[in-house]
Structure 1
Amino acid sequence: MNAPARFTDALPATVFDGPARTRFAAHYPETPHILTHSLTSHPLLEIEALAALAERLPLASVEYNRGDLPIGVDGKPGSNGMTIAETIRRVAEAESWAVLKNIEQVPAYEALLMSLLEEIRPEIEAATGAMLTPQGFIFVSSPNSVTPYHFDPEHNILLQIRGSKVMTQFPAGDTRFVPDEAHETYHSGGPRELMWDDAMLPHGTEFALAPGEALFVPVMAPHFVRNGPAPSVSLSITWRSEWSYRESDARIFNAILRERGFRPSAPGRWPQQNYAKAYAFRALRKLGLTGS
């Protein structure tokens, strides 16, 4: 669907310029890196517009929590006692962070998301094939708030729009930072929050983001985020690939094997494709034998 003209007209002619796309192509899909972008303001990304978006999205598509959190939490963090719209409108003093999920459910935001992804579609599809399941997420964070240690299943570019933050990222697929069982639990329907150990901190890489900068986050790369001294707005544009889906399905198949007393080997990372376990799981699912 097309967004109203006033929203599409607000976009720069090119958000990712030639050097940014070249840098992205050289590092995608497995190496985190900083890119530049020109989307530092947009009517859809103003605080009042985001509060209105939060009220339009279904409850399952919003998450908001206190921001005065440790790096590691056991399960979902507690509520801040406000509504999602109040949290966003009062972000400067709310001591919270909020995420609006699957913004593509609203046509204007779908158009914004797709316009950004179309700019880099050639680089994506040259490496990992068809760009699948495009999704967008917007993060609104209070000064100095913390998003605890977790991972995500998508290929992800996080664009910093307003304020600053530092993401500390750890290598994807390294069991020193995420055991295989945690992957299996997540892909079988469990939480994405991870157990934290301060001994891991020296092994992380800090990526500082200011407006006009973006960070590529590989699939399942564990990370946590500390917000800067001012309110922050970030836009995450994500997609999946058949490769990423095969890794996910292989993880679920491993969970099934582990439940039956086996000790399965971990799926391979890119460019390994994990065909056997992924297709074995898909066959079980088609036969209704997986419980999912």
Structure 2
Amino acid sequence: MFMSVAQLVNQWDTTNQWVAPDGLAAFASAYPGKPVGVQHLLHGHPLFALDALADLAARLPASHVEHSRGDLAIDQDPDGVTREALPVDEIVRTIADNGCWMVLKKVDEDPDYAELIDACLAEIDPVVRPRTGANMRREAFIFLSSPNSVTPYHMDPEHNILFQVAGFKTMRVFSADRFTLVPQVHQEAFHRAGGHRNMRFDPSFDAYGIDFVLAPGDAVYVPVKAPHWVRNGPMPSISFSVTWRSRSSDNDARLHRVNHRLRKLGIDPGRPGDAPRLDAAKVAAHHVVKGVTRTLRTLMGKKTARAAY
């Protein structure tokens, strides 16, 4: 007799955990600034079966689904990326043969998958909260990739744990604090203008990279804006990414937005970290300006509403 996804999930052994005990200790040894491999215990979860993921892809808003060909360069020009003209659920079901790469975004907005991200974050909260505060803007993503696909060199603005669910891949992760790898002006544009995640890559960067070879049951913690690229193995791959923001990642983004504005005015803002007190003053000023802006928008909205009434 056919069982629904909900029934399968209910049968899942709830004694399983997202993060294995040894993995939690490894995570604690590295968070928040260093990448580290951890282990998890849910790679057999029914929500990651292809049929369940195909159904999820079909019901997500179009803005939450991104896909392309997977035969990309490490430093791929975003303008050169092509897509297959297939329905998104069909891309999921044929991922072993269609040569595609796909990400399902913000799957935490789906109730079933929301429970998974909540469980993960609850387990690591005793490590996260004392060091970077309560997690903010929690999101989850599911990546599917055909054999030998490449995810180009890029960085992300969140703390991230990537859980390998099916297949094998190698993720090469680089230090987030090397300005030779990610120039300051790129970081400023990334935060201020929402620049594309893909970045220029030079083979000399590999001297600073750490390879994490991921099989089902393996995971890797990737710090905020730690550059990385991924090469899939000879089998189709499914990965689940749990991300969150923190006070420190929020302040880092604010600092780069202020520096971007100063640079546009012809002022050299200096390198983050060289003048901690000045950095803190810039962040505080950004908080004030954004707070005033929100208040003015609220007041203007009320005035508009009263005028319409």
TM-score by length of 2: 0.87
Q: Please tell me the residue identity of whatever aligns with 2:284.
A: Y
Matched, 1:10 2:34: no
Residue 47 of structure 2 is aligned to residue 38 of structure 1: no
The residue identity in structure 2 corresponding to 1:204 is G
- The partner residue of 1:268 within 263, 273, 284 is 273
Which of 123, 138, 141 is equivalent to 1:137?
Answer: 141
Match of 2:87 in 1: 83
Work out the CA distance in 2 between the residues paired with 1:11 and 1:265.
Answer: 53
Aligned-partner Cα distance in 2 for 1:134–1:9? 26
Q: Aligned equivalents of 1:272 and 1:169: distance in 2? A: 30
State the percentage of identical aligned residues: 40
Q: Superposition pairs for residues 172-191 of structure 1, below 5 Å? A: 172-188=176-192, 189-191=194-196
Contact preservation (8 Å) 2:18, 2:119: no
Equivalent-residue separation in structure 2 for 1:201 and 1:126 (angstroms)? 33
Deviations 1:193-231 (A, max 9, x none): 111222222322111100111001000000100000000
Q: Deviations over 1:110-160 (max 9, x none)?
A: 111111111111111121111112110100010000000100011111100
Aligned equivalents of 2:293, 2:133: Cα separation in 1: 29
Secondary structure at the residue paired with 1:255?
helix
After superposition, where does 1:242-257 map in structure 2 within 5 Å?
242-257=247-262
Q: Which structure has the highest helix share of the two?
A: 2
State the secondary structure of the residue aligned to 2:195: coil
Displacement, 1:57? 1.2
Q: Which runs of 5+ in 2 are unaligned?
A: 295-309
Shift of 1:273: 11
RMSD: 2.2
Please say which structure displays the higher CA radius of gyration: 2
1:197 aligned to which of 196, 202, 208:
202
Distance 1:142 1:79 in 2: 13
Structure 1 residue identity aligned to 2:21: G
What letter is aligned with 1:210?
A: A
Unaligned segments of structure 1, at least 5 residues: none
Which one of 217, 221, 228 corresponds to residue 226 of structure 2? 221
- The one-letter amino acid paired with 1:35 is V
1:278 maps to 283
**Structure 2 counterpart of 1:84, which letter?**
V
Distance 1:11 1:60 in 2: 33
Q: Normalising by the residue count of structure 1, what TM-score does the alignment of the two structures yield?
A: 0.92
